[in-house]
């Protein structure tokens, strides 16, 4: 009987208060960077090009939390980020990009050790831009916007390298993060 | 050591993707040989303009096209054989900042208003 009772409890997503606090902190930090970045003028007048500072914490979460926890954090950050930006029309693009990016990085974290967080982030950025462009093709009803993908990949790789290196420095400094993920 | 080896091939892949994108990006940015421009919204061609013969005009395109109550506009200027977006009612104004249409393959786009201006053959 006791066993039977434990099964549904396990099926329910359980998070310790400590994990919840850590996740909330990372989400808040990501949102702060997102809002700061909104104040910076866009360096290149090309739709979709941005530094993506908030993704420093997405990459940190990928290497520090479970897939599920990272996913929850990303959804909260993207929805609140779009609300703070007052630009709900960009939600579809960021959500689509983030989905591609997260799937790719969750796969790569099993292959790439912590020394290569920057590399995982570069691939994440490239996948983000790919997802974004795919959403743009659907929205515009035309494949002509695919012409932006190469440029987005070039700028995205640079941005991903920067945010990845930042994330690597953050992960190194999180206490108790010495070992790689199980 | 095994992990490092695996990472190396991923670095090579990243570099290859980057270089391929760089080459393709430069190709996309090359100026167009065509002088015919189309203004497209939601995959529907609204205007086709020959920049060599067109008179100077100001076009206003609304999104959504049907209901004009809450519609947002983009103002497109055709002048001296060039075309650009001068004003946009959208959050980012990227299409305005993109300036005049020059590249053959890279259209001016306004994602919020589903508008695209590009050279056509």
Using a CB-CB distance cutoff of 8 angstroms, which residues of chain A are in contact with residue B106? 147-148, 151
Contact at CB, A154 and B18, closer than 8 angstroms = yes
pLDDT by residue for chain B (121 residues), tens only, comes to 455 568 899 999 999 999 999 999 999 988 878 899 999 998 889 999 999 988 899 999 988 877 667 788 899 999 998 999 999 988 778 889 988 998 888 999 998 888 999 998 7
Contact at CB, B91 and A85, closer than 8 angstroms = yes
Looking at the complex, report in whole angstroms how far the Cα of residue B20 sits from the nearest Cα belonging to chain A. 8
Looking at the complex, report in whole angstroms how far the Cα of residue A81 sits from the nearest Cα belonging to chain B. 14
Q: What is the pLDDT of residues A94-114, one digit of tens each?
A: 999 999 999 999 999 999 999
- Say what the pTM is: 0.87
Using a CB-CB distance cutoff of 8 angstroms, which residues of chain B are in contact with residue A139? 111, 114
Residue of chain B with shortest Cα separation from A42? B94
Three-state DSSP state, A66:
coil
- Band the pLDDT of A7: cuts 50, 70, 90: very low
Structure confidence at residue B67 (pLDDT) = 66
CB-based contact, B40 to chain A, within 8 Å:
yes
Q: In angstroms, how far is CA B48 from the centroid of its own chain? A: 15
Q: Within 13 Å of residue B24, how many CA atoms lie on the same side as its CB?
A: 16
In the predicted structure, residue A177 carries a pLDDT above the cut 90 = no
Of A45, A123, A150, nearest to B25 by CB-CB distance is A150
Structure confidence at residue A181 (pLDDT) = 47
Give CA–CA dist A25/A19, Å, rounded: 10
Give CA–CA dist A35/B64, Å, rounded: 29
Residue A163 host element (H or E): helix A149-173
């Amino acid at each position: 009987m006791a066993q039977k009772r434990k099964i549904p409890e396990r099926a329910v997503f359980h998070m310790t208060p400590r994990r919840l606090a850590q996740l909330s902190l990372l989400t808040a930090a990501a949102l702060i960077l997102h809002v700061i970045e909104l104040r910076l003028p866009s360096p290149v007048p090309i739709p979709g090009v941005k530094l993506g500072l908030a993704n420093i914490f997405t990459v940190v979460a990928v290497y520090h939390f479970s897939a599920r926890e990272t996913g929850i954090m990303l959804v909260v950050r993207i929805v609140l980020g779009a609300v703070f930006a007052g630009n709900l029309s960009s939600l579809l693009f960021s959500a689509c990009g983030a989905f591609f990016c997260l799937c790719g990085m969750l796969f790569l974290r099993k292959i790439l050790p912590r020394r290569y967080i920057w590399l995982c982030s570069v691939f994440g950025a490239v996948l983000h831009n790919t997802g974004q462009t795919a959403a743009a093709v659907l929205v515009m009803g035309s494949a002509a916007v695919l012409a932006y993908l190469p440029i987005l990949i070039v700028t995205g790789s640079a941005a991903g390298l920067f945010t990845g290196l930042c994330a690597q420095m953050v992960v190194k400094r999180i206490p108790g993060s010495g070992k790689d993920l199980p | 050591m095994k992990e490092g080896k695996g990472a190396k091939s991923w670095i090579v892949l990243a570099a290859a993707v980057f270089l391929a994108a760089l080459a393709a990006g430069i190709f996309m940015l090359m100026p167009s040989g065509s002088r015919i421009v189309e203004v497209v919204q939601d995959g529907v061609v609204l205007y086709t303009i020959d920049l060599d013969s067109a008179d100077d005009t100001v076009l206003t395109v609304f999104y959504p096209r049907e209901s004009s109550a809450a519609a947002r506009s983009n103002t497109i200027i055709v002048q001296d054989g060039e075309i650009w977006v001068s004003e946009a009612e959208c959050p980012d104004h990227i299409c305005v900042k993109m300036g005049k249409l020059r590249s053959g393959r890279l259209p001016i786009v306004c994602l919020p208003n589903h508008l695209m201006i590009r050279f056509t053959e």
